[in-house]
Amino acid sequence: MSITLKSLTVKKIISFVFITTLSLFTLTGCDDNKNTTTNKTENKLVVGVAAGPYGDMFKKAIAPGLEKQGYKIDIREFSDYVQPNIALSNKEIDVNLFQHLAYLNNFKQARKIDNITAIAFVPTAGAGIFSNKISDFSQLKAGDQVTISNDVTNEARALRILQSAGLIKLNPNTAAGEVTPKDIIDNPYQLVIVPIEAPQTPRSLDSAVLAVVNGNYAIGAGLDLSKALYTEKLDKDLKNVIAIRTDTVDTLGKAIIDVLKSDDFNRVIDDKNDIFYTFQKPDYQLY
């Protein structure tokens, strides 16, 4: 009789241990599935933009396509041209749209950043020469001030625009992307070139006679692009790009490229009631 009771006791203990273990395994399995589902549904993308139209371009033309692919978009606006690339490199954001290719390449070299890649061009507004004081270059007088952006690539760009407009002549022996005001070899209007922070160029029109203003800042300040006294023709390197971290090129990069090739994206860009219709269009895929 004692042997039978003992056998029953052992069986009960074994059954209890088995049921307990199974329950723990099931609960753990449910937690794992829950975490997996949560990770899939979050899929958050933080997008960095600067003041101006490119944040609107991302919201209107790109974000909807990414949302269809399951991404949740959070757009963060920066007040300068430096922080969006630093934030991207440091994984504080996942993608940015604010700069042209020449600026990005120069920034990467100067800051020794090697984990950012430009994956695609987007329609881009050219820079222009604006004035609140004159309506024609023939009205310029000796000593009139002209404000330009003071970062390396946009300073050289602005000087080339002034040269294309016939206002100055630059040293042909200096590389186009490296010219500075010191490379002006002919200044028939005796203009005074004043480099300032790029976002300040539209505001400088209250005091300066001319300002070379990048398209995004011109639009952000409410300037009418059609009223520019001169508008540049954009080279490839001066068209704006979407940049991401290099290790996401095959995933996020592909998702973005798919959106840029979509009919929905082109419908927004080609809408004649939107500012994007006036932008200079590129071939979208870069890599």
pLDDT tens-digit readout, 128-149: 999 999 999 999 999 999 999 9
Query: Which one is predicted more confidently, 187 or 4?
Result: 187
Q: Residues 139-182: pLDDT tens digits?
A: 999 999 999 999 988 999 999 999 999 999 999 999 999 999 99
Res 14 pLDDT > 90 = no
* Torsion sign over Cα 151, 184, 166, 133: positive
Q: Residues 15-61: pLDDT tens digits?
A: 444 444 444 444 444 444 434 333 334 699 999 998 779 999 999 99
* Torsion sign over Cα 183, 189, 192, 194: negative
What's the pLDDT score for residue 97? Answer: 98
pTM of the model: 0.72
Res 7 pLDDT > 60 = no
Res 285 pLDDT > 90 = no
- pLDDT class for 100, splitting at 50, 70, 90? very high
The H or E element containing residue 96 is strand 95-100
**Amino acid at position 110, single letter:** A
Q: Taking residues 210-223, what's their average pLDDT? A: 92
What's the pLDDT score for residue 8? Answer: 44
Q: Taking residues 243-254, what's their average pLDDT? A: 97
The Cα 234–Cα 158 span in angstroms is 12
**Residue 143 CB coordination number (10 Å):** 10
Q: Taking residues 196-220, what's their average pLDDT? A: 95
How high is the mean pLDDT of the chain? 87
Integer CA distances (angstroms), 146 to 96, 181, 228, in order: 30, 11, 14
The SS3 assignment for 190 reads coil
